[in-house]
Amino acid sequence: MTVITQRRRPAQFSSPVQHQQMNKVQRQKNNQASLMVVSSLKASLVGGVGLLLLMLISLIPPPENIPFLSLAYLVWPGFVVVCLATGLLASILAGDSIRNSYQGGKVGWMAGFWAGIYGGIGAMLMAAVGIFMVSFGQGVVNQFTPSQLATWQSVGLTADTISLAGRVFGALVVYGIIGSLVCALLSSIGGMIYPKLSAVE
């Protein structure tokens, strides 16, 4: 009589304890990701306000007796400082969720990108009102000959309308698209600084 023995296969199902551990790890990852997003959005609001203030500062004319002294010269250095501070603030708000420079750069990039978007929207609104990028809009109008402007005017597009469109489009490209990318890059650097500073402490 032949006896056939079968090997027992290992259990394919994990124990309830392993399920609980896996769920706990997954919840921690989800909480960490949500905290990073919330922190980046909070920091982006601060960065967006800073960018809007710099745009308003650039509109202040220099004193008549001292033409070379203008607050507009502080805009570009201020832009760099605001972007770096935005990324650093995003990492600080994320707290323990930031454990390395990669995570800090990631949360800083998100904060800087949204701050640049806010700044671009503000620039477009100011351009639409007519207090921002005025010379740029006029330069767009100057690209057309008088006969071309007359042709455009016959279809309802006046020189003021073309200037308005040029100002808004210019603000969209310069401050909305290019500005957002540059701000995100600089803010990612700021976010990468925080883990290094906390490691030193």
Residue-wise pLDDT for 28-40, tens only, equals 666 777 888 899 9
pLDDT at 75: 84
- Domain assignment present for residue 39? The answer is yes
Kindly report, residue by residue over 133-153, the tens digit of the pLDDT: 888 889 988 998 888 888 888
- Domain assignment present for residue 124? The answer is yes
Kindly report, residue by residue over 154-175, the tens digit of the pLDDT: 888 888 988 999 999 999 999 9
- Domain assignment present for residue 139? The answer is yes
- Domain assignment present for residue 161? The answer is yes
- Domain assignment present for residue 8? The answer is no
Residue 31 tokens, joined: 């909480």
Q: Which residues of the chain have pLDDT under 70?
A: 1-30, 65-72, 198-201
Q: How far apart are the first and last CA of the chain?
A: 76
For helices 75-94 and 16-58, the axis angle rounded to 10 degrees is 160
Q: What pTM was estimated for this model as a whole?
A: 0.78
- Domain assignment present for residue 24? The answer is no
On whether the CB atoms of residues 99 and 140 are closer than 8 A, the answer is no
- Domain assignment present for residue 16? The answer is no
- Domain assignment present for residue 26? The answer is no
Structural domain for 178, as ranges: 34-60+70-200
Count structural domains, the chain.
1
